[in-house]
Structure 1
């Protein structure tokens, strides 16, 4: 159905002689709701004045109308002296030395990092060259009777040094390097 080009339905004409239908179309003001809204606004204003603190008709006295006696020079009290500190821990902490026992770090076995294991020596040499471009030295070792070629970096004294080189290789998009406690 074409809603854009459709015709309006014919309008019904009101029956002649009935004035009640015209009265129904006029809007009547709901005076009850208007009265309730006015009462609520007045209550809100009164509540805010009560919260604000006092009667709005009473004017506070000015300084010239004040009935308080003014102090004379004899009546003014001197400011008391600063009391002496009763805490002495501040001085004690400044002169205190703290002794800490730091155990020496035990070095475990040397760490080696393996970055790849290949069937062909040419693939292992290609990875070794990519590692050499990052400034690190890798070695290619035969394993499993000469059927596998491993690309290994190290030995490292600490795991932290091996992790440093591994992160350097990861930034160069060489992933998959594993750190092991190996001896060659």
Structure 2
């Protein structure tokens, strides 16, 4: 801002007054030039700052817009998931079996169990006798196997020898058949030549 000149004092002469006026005008002109330079500097500074600010604001606005879109999508997906799980819960509740039905089924099992216990209570000697007879049969079979172990070993050896003899006999028959077919081929070749 231009500076206001101090109030003029009484001037003793015209020469010094015109000189003072000239100095004041020059001072005002210099002050105006300085203000103009400062304004120009400030203008350049603000244009650089404005360009940077505009780029920053554009990036900021783009980021905010993207964040808003992402938030809207997340809200939509969240609502969809909530609705999906609400439907699943409603389906599960529809298929849910009441505890009264389970208790009714359990009472049927308890009735069956009571009937089985009544049957078993009526025939305890039969069951005890059955288990003793099974134990005796198993023990008798075990004793018989142990008593005849030598006979089993001899029988096994005899069967192995018989099987080996049959295998040897079959191999010999196969050799004889091979030799016979070779001999027949040889005689045919002699007759044809």
Q: Which has the higher contact order (CA 8 A, sep 6+)?
A: 1
Q: Structure 2 length normalisation: TM-score?
A: 0.26
The higher radius of gyration belongs to 2
Bigger share in helix: 2
TM-score normalised per structure 1: 0.27
